[in-house]
Homo-oligomer: A and B are copies of this chain.
Amino acid sequence: MGLSLNQATVKYLGLKDAVDLCARHGIAAIGLWRDRVAEAGVAESAAAVRGAGLHVSSLCRGGFFTCADVDGRRAALADNRAAIAEAAELGADTLVLVSGGLAAGSRDLALARRMVADAIGELVPEAQRLGVRLGIEALHPMFCADRCVISSLGEAVDLALAFPADAVGVVVDTYHVWWDIRLAAEIVRAAGRIVSYQVSDWVLPLPVDPLLGRGHLGDGVIDFGPITAAVAAAGYDGHVEVEIFNADVWDAPADQTAVTVRERFATALSGPGV
């Protein structure tokens, strides 16, 4: 598996600067974010990545389906259809879906999860029509209430298996799933459905903003070798996206970050089957 740099790792770079950074450091693939793509323009972004010879390993992100009201739900679906079209134009391997948390004012987890399943079902025809695969991402359970009610890989796999394989798969992100005693078994069940493999490390202590607790590979406690080997054994042969939300990483010079990402990718992901 080759290295991809997720744009969120160099948060302060615009799309063209991030593309240039990858080209400069011999990183052959990039994960894009919709806000930066919108800022640069979708056609211009597609031209920039193609001009640099970069592969687009993912577009982040769609989702946020858990709206209690009809208008909110309609707006979410429209936004996701737009995201699918963008992913197609960019040639992204997958559109990453972060499902959304509990609906506003609701404590009904089962209802929120049904909303997610229903919304994905509605998007499948559009995804198939444009040849985009939707990637259901399980987020860490600490984000269940407010960001993503899909809280374990097994849950994401169950959801994906309800839809055609050409349209819906799962994202494996080490930061979100490393703790799960069922992880290896769920990766086996995900065979043929893994559409993105994202990596960052779990660093202690947790920061004030729990969204920003991720670290460079090797700075934390995650054992990347066995997880990566399992993902490879499940048939995934795409890129490994390094995606790090961390204020210190964001403040570092982007070239330094790119060097560290490359070095750590080479060492932390080594292991049997990788």
Contact = CB atoms under 8 A, between A and B. Distances in A.
Interface string A143-183: 01110010110110000000000000000000000111110
Interface in A96-148: 102, 107-109, 113, 140-142, 144-146
A179 B109 contact: yes
Nearest to A207: B208
Contact of A180 (B152, B179, B206, B220): B152
Given A109-B223, A221-B107, A145 B202 contact: yes
**Secondary structure of the A contact surface, majority rule:** loop
Contacts of A202: 145
Interface string A188-205: 000000000000001011
A113 B220 CA distance: 19
A235 interface: no
B179 A144 contact: yes
Contact of A181 (B107, B142, B155): B155
A221 B145 contact: yes
7 contacts: A102-B221, A109-B181, A142-B210, A144-B178, A149-B179, A151-B180, A210-B210
Interface of A: 102, 107-109, 113, 140-142, 144-146, 149, 151-152, 154-155, 178-182, 202, 204-206, 208, 210, 220-223
Given A144-B179, A206-B210, 10 more contacts: A107-B223, A108-B223, A109-B179, A140-B141, A145-B179, A146-B204, A151-B181, A152-B181, A208-B208, A210-B210
